[in-house]
Homo-oligomer: A and B are copies of this chain.
Amino acid sequence: MEDRHVSLAHGNGGSYMRELIETVFARHLSNPLLDVQADAAALPPMDGVIMITTDGFTVQPLEFPGGTIGSLAVHGTVNDLAVSGARPCYLTLNAFIEEGFDMAQLERIVASLASAARETNVAVVAGDTKVLPRGQGGGLYLAATGVGVRPPNLELGLDRVKPGDLILVSGPVGDHGVAVMLAREQFGLSGELLSDAASVLPLTQALVPLPGLHFMRDPTRGGLATVLHEICRATGLETRLNQAAVPVRDQVASVCEMLGYDPFYLACEGRVVAVVESPQASEALARLQALPQGCQAAIIGSVNHGRPHVVLETELGGERILDELEDDPLPRIC
């Protein structure tokens, strides 16, 4: 019987590597721009400002409720372009595969990556695979670089955030973090919760036409609290979060309570935090809520004069400061 595991020879540039690339990667990712025999891909002319981003993926387990490391690589990369106001067009893909990796699982992961790429309308135009000797891997790591285009006149960024701006989130926070945590089974818990991993492009494109839109970011590693810290640090302003207003699923809240996590620090992979001028916040909210993935969107806080702290207004009427994340509560989350 044929050995259906990745070997070191699948990484050496020879016939096994060619076979791996042709039968697994090229077969699923095939598109007119992907030429596995070329050193570099020529991109068609693009209209607008070219935007580029890159992201590494090490999530464990590699397949989890609501996604795989493959679909996550597409969504994570596409989302970094989307929140910068761009439309994603192209991806490049690196795979680091550990010797002995199950070929059937690799196929499933590449298929899920290909399906996410099709759904978000991006083409994988170049790729590379390396095989890591057994014991130096951890299964599979991916890196992806995304290229997109942004309208030339669009100005978004931390430097546009002003006192008085309101903060919105497009949906419940912490689903991805908790879904991955439960999938590890190390806590003896399991659940029906799906990761929120998805493209946020429909959400960002709904907001981009608003002239009062100042800044968007997807709250991945470090979660919502970390995005707010980034705002504080860049602007010198205070951000204030209304705990009662932040959507958190019951299951996420109860897992967090049991294990001592704070949902505001847990990764999302399909949410957007947007900072909008106050007069346009209700219009922004309506635009998010009009989309299926934005139906639980909410205005959750504000940017204010004051010390550059993230202040949480608790449901009991008190206040506490959300510190910047230090220790890692949850490695290999994305």
Contacts and interface: CB of A to CB of B under 8 A. Distances in A.
A11 interface: yes
Interface string A135-164: 111100101011110100000011000000
Interface in A196-221: 217-218, 220-221
Contact of A128 (B135, B136, B143, B329): B143
Nearest to A9: B328
Contacts of A143: 54, 56, 94, 96, 128, 143
Contacts of A57: 130
A189 interface: no
A60 to B, nearest CB: 8
A328 B222 contact: no
Interface in A1-55: 7-9, 11-17, 37-43, 46, 49-55
A51 B56 contact: no
A58 B95 CA distance: 11
B328 A54 contact: no
B130 A56 contact: yes
A321 B56 CA distance: 41
The 8 closest A-B pairs by CB, nearest first: A13-B222, A14-B325, A13-B221, A136-B138, A54-B92, A145-B145, A12-B328, A143-B143
A12 B220 CA distance: 10
Interface string A286-308: 00000000000000000000000
A126 interface: yes
Interface stretch (A76-84, A102-110, A254-262): A76-84
Interface residues of A, number: 80
13 contacts: A38-B84, A39-B218, A40-B53, A43-B50, A43-B52, A53-B92, A54-B93, A56-B94, A132-B138, A132-B332, A133-B138, A145-B145, A147-B147
A90 interface: yes
A42 to B, nearest CB: 5
A204 to B, nearest CB: 11
A226 interface: yes
A230 interface: yes
B128 A96 contact: no
Contacts of A328: 7-9, 11-12, 14, 131
A327 interface: yes
Contacts of A127: 54
